[in-house]
Amino acid sequence: MPTNGAPTRITQGSHTRGGIGESTLRPDGTLKVTGEFAYASDMWHEDMLWGQILRSTVAHAEIVSIDTSEALATPGVYAVLTYDDLPTEVRHYGLEIQDTPVLAHGRVRHHGEPVAVVAADHPETARRAAARIRVEYRDLPVITDEASATAPAAVLLHENRTDPHAAHVRHPNIVHRQPIIRGDVERARRRADVIVEGEYVFGMQDQAFLGPESGLAVPAEDGGVDLYIATQWLHADLRQIAPVLGLPEDKIRMTLSGVGGAFGGREDLSMQIHACLLALRTGKPVKMVYNRFESFFGHVHRHPAKLYYEHGATHDGKLTHVKARIVLDGGAYASSSPAVVGNAASLGVGPYVIDDVDIEAVALYTNNPPCGAMRGFGAVQACFAYEAQMDKLAARLGMDPVEFRRLNAMSQGSLLPTGQVVDSPAPVAELLRRVKAMPLPPEQQWLVAGEEADVRQLPGGLSNTTHGEGVVRGIGYAVGIKNVGFSEGFDDYSTARVRLEAAGGEPVATVHTAMAEVGQGGVTVHAQIARTELGVAQVTILPADTRVGSAGSTSASRQTYVTGGAVRNACELVREQILERGRRRFGAHHPAWATAELLLEGGKVVTDGGEVLADLVDVLGDEAVEIEQEWRHRPTEPFDLRTGQGFGHVQYSFAAHRAVVEVDTELGLVKVIELACAQDVGKALNPLSVTGQIQGGTTQGLGVAVMEEIIVDPRTAKVRNPSFTDYLIPTILDTPTIPVDVLELADDHAPYGLRGVGEAPTLSSTPAVLAAIRNATGLELNRTPVRPEHLTGG
Amino acid sequence: MRVNFTVNGRPQQADDVWEGESLLYVLRERLGLPGSKNACEQGECGSCTVRLDGVPVCSCLVAAGQAEGREIVTVEGLAEHARQRAGGEDACGTSLDEARRWSPRGPGSQSDEGSTSPRATLAPLQQAFIDAGAVQCGFCTPGLLVAADEMLERNPNPTDADIREALSGNLCRCTGYEKIMDAVRLAAARQGEEA
Amino acid sequence: MDFLRPASWEEALAAKAEHPTAVPIAGGTDVMVEINFDHRRPEYLLDLTRIGDLYEWEAGEHSVRLGASVPYTRIMENLRTELPGLALASHTVASPQIRNRGGVGGNLGTASPAGDAHPALLAAGAEVEAESVRGTRRIPIDAFYTGVKRNALAADELIRAVHINKADGPQQFSKVGTRNAMVIAVCAFGLALHPETRTVRTGIGSAAPTPIRATAAEEFLNAALDEDGLWDSGRIITPSVAKQFAELCAAACNPIDDVRGTARYRRHAVGVMARRTLMWTWESYRGNARTMEGAA
């Protein structure tokens, strides 16, 4: 049994079919399987032009000159814009720090930075014209790591910084620094019977969403613009776009078009401003679609990191202290680096109880590609390192790695190194127990008919590299902790508009939010919530746009919590108005209107005893009830800049993995046989979606364990593999079975007790695979992804 | 140049095609059939998979001119293709304008998607993808459907390894493939029940 | 850009003679990627997909005449007996969609050291049938690869077919990639036993500027098999012979470091693949029922 109480059942307010807790099917499913669902790249408009960006071919250089004359003279070209053509004095944008030029000004700071934009009547015309823009660069020395970034004479990526972090960093090429200090590490170290140290490297991962960055900007008669775009947060885009265009926000009407995955990579702007600028300049609709090559330059990546860890433990297996330094490479522009630093630092201990902690996390400005949000956001890199440390400690102590972790696992009531008390279930030990208890896959599944080898089930797969020779099995475990929602005092809210009306003799609910549906299934859940809360069968989900208030970002595992919470809250307010109206209209006929607890169920107003008082359509009459309301989770506070103390996170999410791998130890090829996961989700609003999220997150963790890495040339800071030929993501033959054990321990602070789901499985998947490979090979492996040459000494 | 070919049983003509355009571009931008997707345009993801004279290919790697006179089936024609294979007759399809407009359907229509009452317009495999939760962002879905449907045509009782091999040219970034496996198994099982 | 659509082989040759810069396109695997990503803007595209002859094959007494555009899927399915090495290699090409469209002619035309067909062709022994309006010639596969992505074709020549020796003994093919499917070779190795001539032939991909044979390794193994009378006795090859063969194969490589792998790893992996494929083919030759041929 978990120490934190048994799995909790949430009593639902309704038994209406398709409410929360049921695996209802996606409302957009039919459109998506028929090809009718309109993704951003599918948008089309009569007479539209095509936009094309010219990007820098070098990572760091002064721009000596730009000559656009030949491009402008190309037949079919309608506009060529550079920095000098920007319409207002606001020429930079950024999620937190406005340090990113809309178009490069005098200098480029990373490979692939936008320098000019072209609009033409055909994509090929636009490409040819862009190729005719002459840019003269004068190379500057490239800054690619901590040493070159913080050298006393280092060129500054951004001079005269005025952002909130500039004051507390020791060098202007450090974006942000967050220490977490608790207890006394020096003293605790003396209590340690064993001490292990490690230096770990985490490679640069790409979100590799399949739907490329795309948008359509349509100029409007009122001087404004309508923008159809794939993004994670419409209102944050709007806040950054409007000042650059010099338009009031209400003149920029944004509509979410179909989003082909996001995973953090659409949190920053891509071509939003460029498309609008070209549309406003030409007076014509402008469509922009990145190809895969450009996509690798068109969005931020996961921060690569170097992590230095020291842990101590006593002979009986209790952790004494942790000292860590986490260096994240933020690349040329800040993006969300400050928040990634906060996460890496505050979650750098992992889901363990350690009283004495000294952690420092920093993010650098370099000439490498800008890095920012990706699923797991700072917690991923730390988990890779601390979980490797846990295995090393267990080995040194001669303990079972799972038992060692369970012995030190945090639980409800534990104190985090930030001073925050964990005030909801934290079943870390139970999750580990569950993944360990799952049955193991049979050995040598690749043997068919007892003799022949099915190479598809062996390392190397169809490439026919082994028929069993050199293949060794390994098993590894890992567990992680991720925060849910925006932290550190951010005003994290969402807005929902809910309308209830009678239509065709039926009560119909309409839910309107600006939540970006990126594939996660938020639209499914919103309908379920409306059904549960309003007791109706018919729910319409309106397209997300900026005609309703902000829903915040589809990131940080937060949308079901926050926008789901906003929808529930708005539904409750609608219900109150309905009941109020019912009391006014029918209260005189039945005393229960005044005395009983009333519910909406099955299209009727009923008492908690089940007595029907009225049909909803009769209460509604001809008059709809509509509420738009913001909803926010309980506030958090910033971490102290010196000690890292503070109530920084609103909720935590936990997952544990067991990886079973088979390694061809001679060729260094890995086949992951199974990746079992146990996760606490608080309450599974839609169990089918929940397991889909866990399996998807697990697979992204697998990818960065064995194949995914953007390779940047350390001499030039140029990206060497911007394609799906050389940036590899797992195929269906690389992905194992992923059994999932879902635990539901309610968090009483959250709507329905739910816990954010999407990110936690991405954390522990990678270190579990690494642990399994170490188990199979006996190698130390301090870097991810593992490449074949790392396993063969090459 | 001008290109003529048949898409989902209908003759199509595209004019002023640039010689470097792919079949994918012509389908998406000239014929209003954006169901085939543009995830990589280098034959590495399978999201643009169509059937060219019956054979699954990456339409991004077919030059538009090479499609001259050929028969193409895209995801938009998959349901009709499945119906004809099953011996049905009623014609259906997606109008070009419909394909271009997006209006998310309310969950009112969602209840129609349940496995208890499959929409008559969907191929069994399409329904199985919805029922099994194989669709998240959906960008890989059209290519996977075309590839998986062709595999089931050839191999009605595939092993898991067969399914994985047949779909190894189709990347998915959301699902971890587990529910895609479920969907194909489900479709195969339903197909078996009907046969 | 002009799109040329010859309806016959003769028309294609005439077009190529008139426009020597025309880029032939069949499966599109290489050419369309270059066009889509703006790496190449040929003046003429010469579409070969209308020429039915290129999609046909014919098995003769000693060799198979394989049309340049016969898709890899057809080779996997129909030529496993005659061309087992090439069938295995075909199965490792990219994805099912690519295998449905790409053929050996494309691999030869591009002449990338990473082309999957090359090691199998080198190991089996083959001749490329090249033709122009000037006439037809057969280029031995060993003389075909002339440099990085360069081949022996003249500007006006097109590849019509490949004549590949029919297997007279077991053949194997292995390829290392960092993914279990849809991957370009980090390096690859092909091996064919030729009991009729009592020789072995090898082919190495992605480990030198061009696809190569490990001739020193072949000579060593030929001599070792001969000396010990193994072709007749069918005894096992000793580990030391296998090891030396593997080392000589590795030594034949002249690889580079790139994003797909290191030179050192490539050498190492070629050695491992050489040893393994030798064991597989030799066990098969010995008629050992435990031999595993992969899933092609």
pLDDT of residue A376: 98
Q: Which residue carries 């083919």 as its tokens? A: C281
Determine the Cα–Cα distance for residues A405 and C255; give it in Å rounded to an integer.
44
In a domain, A395, yes or no: no
Q: Cβ of B171 under 8 Å from any chain A Cβ? A: yes
Residue A499 falls within a domain, yes or no?
A: yes
Question: How buried is residue C41: exposed, middle or buried, by Cβ count under 10 Å (0-12/13-18/19+)?
Answer: middle
Instruction: Report the residue of C180, C256, C279 to disrupt the A interface, i.e. the one with the largest count of A CBs within 10 Å.
Output: C180
Domain boundaries, chain B: 3-77, 104-194
Evaluate if residue A356 carries a pLDDT over 70: yes
Residue A555 backbone dihedrals phi, psi, to 5 degrees = -165, 180
Q: Specify the pLDDT at position B118.
A: 41
The CA-based dihedral angle spanning residues A574, A578, A583, A585, taken in that order and rounded to the nearest 10 degrees:
150
Other C-beta atoms lying within 10 Å of the C-beta of residue C220:
18
For residue C127, give how far its alpha carbon lies from the nearest alpha carbon of chain A (Å).
Answer: 25
CA-CA-CA-CA dihedral for A643, A648, A653, A654, to nearest 10: 10
**pLDDT of A14 over the 60 cut:** no
Q: Do C33 and B41 touch (CB under 8 A)?
A: yes
DSSP B140: S
B49 backbone dihedrals φ, ψ, rounded to 5°: -60, 130
B177: chain C residues, CB-CB within 8 Å: none
The pLDDT, as a whole number, for residue A435 is: 98
Contact status, residue A219 vs residue A283, Cβ threshold 8 Å: yes
State the average pLDDT over residues C22-28.
Answer: 97
Q: What is the pLDDT of residue A258?
A: 97
Tokens of B66: 């090479």
β-pairing verdict for A598-601 and A604-607: antiparallel
Please determine, for residue B94, whether its predicted confidence score (pLDDT) is greater than 80. no
Judged on CB neighbours under 10 Å (0-12, 13-18, 19+), B30 is middle
Which CATH number covers residue A541?
A: 3.30.365.10
* Structural domain boundaries in chain C: 2-165, 171-285
| Residue carrying the six token digits 């426009």 | C19
For residue A367, tell me if it sits in a domain: no
Shared-domain flag, residues A588 and A671: no
Residues C130-175 have pLDDT tens digits of 999 999 999 999 999 999 999 999 999 999 999 999 999 999 999 9
- The confidence band for B117, taking pLDDT boundaries of 50, 70 and 90, is very low
In whole angstroms, give the CA distance from residue C173 to residue C167. 13
Per the CB < 8 A criterion, the answer to whether A377 and A487 are in contact is no
pLDDT at A293 over 60: yes
Q: Is the pLDDT of residue A101 over 80?
A: yes
Do both A611 and A464 map to the same domain? no
CATH of the domain at A56: 3.90.1170.50
Question: Are residues A510 and A477 part of one domain?
Answer: no
Cα gap A560→A550, rounded to integer Å: 15
Can you tell me the distance from the alpha carbon of A300 to that of A296, in angstroms, rounded to the nearest whole number? 8
Rounded (5°) CA angle C151-C156-C160: 70
Subunits in contact with chain B (3 or more CB pairs closer than 8 Å): A, C
The residue among A110 and B120 whose pLDDT is bigger is A110
Give domain C171-285's CATH architecture.
Answer: 2-Layer Sandwich (3.30)
B108 touching chain A per CB within 8 A: yes
Chain A residues inside the 8 Å CB shell of B78: 34
CB-facing half-sphere around the CA of A45: CA atoms within 13 A: 20
Question: Other CB atoms closer than 10 Å to residue A337's CB: what's the count?
Answer: 31
Q: Do B104-194 and B3-77 have the same topology in CATH?
A: no
Interface with chain A: mutation pick from B96, B113, B177, B180, highest number of A CBs within 10 Å = B177
Domain carrying residue A595: 29-37+493-632
C260 and A726 in contact by Cβ < 8 A?
yes
Q: Is there a contact between A24 and B110 if contact means CB atoms under 8 Å apart? A: yes
Alpha carbon distance, N-terminus to C-terminus of chain B: 46
First to last CA, chain C: 40
| Residue A602 identity | G
The answer regarding whether domain B104-194 maps to CATH 1.10.150.120 reads: yes
With beta carbons less than 8 A apart as the criterion, state whether A570 and A542 touch: no
H or E stretch covering A580: helix A559-586
For chain A, the straight-line distance linking the first and the last C-alpha, in angstroms and rounded, comes to 47
Q: Is the pLDDT of residue A35 over 70?
A: yes
Size (chain A), residues: 794
Kindly report the three-state secondary structure assignment for every residue of A590-615: CCHHHHCCEEEECCEEEECCCCEEEE
Q: Are C165 and C98 in contact (CB under 8 A)?
A: no
Q: What does the pLDDT average to over C18-33?
A: 97
Separation in Å, CA A302 to CA A207, A290, A368, A369, A731: 8, 20, 12, 10, 20
| Residue in the block written with tokens 């760091």 | A60
Report the mean per-residue pLDDT for chain A. Answer: 96
Q: How far apart are CA B150 and CA B155, in angstroms?
A: 9
Question: What residues in B contact A75, CB-CB < 8 Å?
Answer: none
Q: Would you say A36 and A700 are in contact if contact means Cβ atoms under 8 Å apart?
A: no
pLDDT at A36 > cutoff 90: yes
- A620 and A700 in one domain? no
Q: What whole-number distance in Å separates Cα of residue B142 and Cα of residue B74?
A: 8
User: Strand (E) positions, C60-116?
Assistant: 63-67
- DSSP string of A480-538, one letter each residue: EEEEES--TT---EEEEEEEEEEETTEEEEEEE--B--SSS-HHHHHHHHHHHHH--SE
Take residue A281 and report the two structure tokens written for it. 């300049």
Give the model's confidence band at B93: pLDDT under 50 very low, under 70 low, under 90 confident, else very high.
Answer: very low
Taking the CA of residue A139 and the nearest CA in chain B, the distance in Å comes to 31
CA–CA gap between residue A680 and residue A656 (Å, rounded): 9
Helix (H, G, I), strand (E, B) or coil at C145: strand
Cβ distance of C91 and A706 shorter than 8 Å: no
Q: Return the SS3 of A696.
A: helix
Element at C242 (helix H, strand E)? helix C239-252
Query: For domain B3-77, which CATH number applies: 3.50.50.60, 3.30.450.20, 3.10.20.30, 3.40.50.1000?
Result: 3.10.20.30
CB-defined contacts A:B, below 8 A:
260
The arithmetic mean of pLDDT across residues A152-160, rounded, is 96
Q: Classify domain C2-165 at the CATH class level.
A: alpha beta
**C42 in contact with A, Cβ within 8 Å:** no
pLDDT at A794: 64
Specify the pairing of strand C126-132 against strand C135-140: antiparallel
CB A511, CB A540: distance < 8 Å = yes
Please report the residues numbered 34 through 53 in chain B whose beta carbons come closer than 8 angstroms to any beta carbon of chain C: 41-44, 46, 49, 52
Establish how many alpha carbons lie within 13 A of residue A712's alpha carbon, considering only the half-sphere containing its beta carbon.
Answer: 30
Q: Are residues A33 and A46 in the same domain?
A: no
Q: What is the pLDDT of residues A462-478, one digit of tens each?
A: 999 999 999 999 999 99
Please give the average per-residue pLDDT across C40-52, as a whole number: 97
Interchain CB contact of C72 with A (< 8 Å): no
- In this predicted structure, the answer to whether residue A353 has a pLDDT above a threshold of 80 is yes
Distances (CA, A) of A774 to A306, A392, A700: 20, 11, 20
What is the pLDDT, as a whole number, of residue A595?
85
Spatial distance between the Cα atoms of C281 and A114, rounded to a whole number of angstroms: 55
Q: How confident is the model at residue C287 (pLDDT cuts 50, 70, 90)?
A: confident
User: For residue range A654-710, what is the model confidence (pLDDT) as tens digits?
Assistant: 999 999 999 999 999 999 999 999 999 999 999 999 999 999 999 999 999 999 999
**Span B12-33, average pLDDT:** 97
Mean pLDDT on C244-249: 98
Using the CB atoms, write b or e for C102-120: b if 16+ within 10 Å. bbbbbbbbebbbbbbbbbb
A211's tokens:
């739907």
Give mean pLDDT, residues B66-74.
98
Per the CB < 8 Å rule, is B176 touching A738?
yes
Amino acid (one-letter) located at B122: L
Of the candidates C88, C259, C268, which has its C-beta nearest A794's C-beta? C268
Counted domains in chain A = 3
Residues of B in contact with C45 (CB under 8 A): 19-20, 63, 65
Q: What is the pLDDT of residue A180?
A: 98
Report yes or no: B165 at the C interface, CB cutoff 8 Å: yes
